[in-house]
Amino acid sequence: MIAELVEYSYYNKLSLVLLMPLIIVFLMCMVDLLRTKLLFKSLFSNQYFYKYPHDSVNTLSLYQVLVFLYMSVVLALFLMFLLCDKTYIYQQFFEAFRSAFYISSSFFIVKYLVSEFLYQFSNKKLHFKQMLILETSYLTVVLLVVFLLLSCVFLHLDYYDSLRNILLIIALLTYFIRFIVLVLNNKNLLSGKVLHIILYLCTLEIVPFVYLFKSYIE
């Protein structure tokens, strides 16, 4: 009886958390449906970039806040997957998610502040801004793929351990594919300094997760 209650509680909590990104995407659609459609197609099409080329990194709109929340929630789920074992997730799901969300939101805030700092001192503000828009839009698509994979894992905890390494590899490969697509599709924007800045930002994103992955496999 107690085991059944614990299982029921876990799936209730999981359902609430998995609904959060979906609700946020729904709100994004309510704010700007066309923009959301183009955003999630951005890895395969540059229409988002051409439609919204004047997004600014130094101002925040409601839509940008929603994108920030979406990315923070999905990244928090990925951090839970990296840092927590099956038993802890099953028994302390909300506590694990809350801690991971603090880390993920702090990470994106730091990334935003670093981007803002680099933008202010960039000699090629237009190119830098355009690359930031593309980099963020591509990351949004990658996180959608990660979210779908994580949902399957958390819904089937019996296969958690066996799927863990596979999902980690898929997530890292998807991230690197995103970077390659970013570079190949936008060679005209990548002058020397802008390329160095984008490489720096991508390194800022990936290094913490490489460290966590190294700690996990050890």
- What is the mean pLDDT of each successive set of 10 residues along the chain, which is 218 residues long? 54 91 96 91 76 62 91 92 84 90 89 74 62 75 87 84 76 71 59 53 54 49
pLDDT at 125: 59
Question: Given this model, what pLDDT does residue 2 score?
Answer: 40
> For residue 123, what pLDDT is reported?
61
**Can you give the pLDDT at residue 1?**
42
How much is the pLDDT for 152? 87
pTM for the model stands at 0.79
The residues spanned by each domain of the chain are 2-25+55-217
Contacts 24+ apart (CB under 8 A), 36-43: 39/67, 39/137, 39/140, 39/141, 40/140, 40/141, 40/144, 41/141, 42/134, 42/137, 42/138, 42/140, 42/141, 43/137, 43/138, 43/141, 43/142, 43/178, 43/181
- pLDDT (0 to 100) of residue 4: 46
Q: Residue 60 has what pLDDT?
A: 72
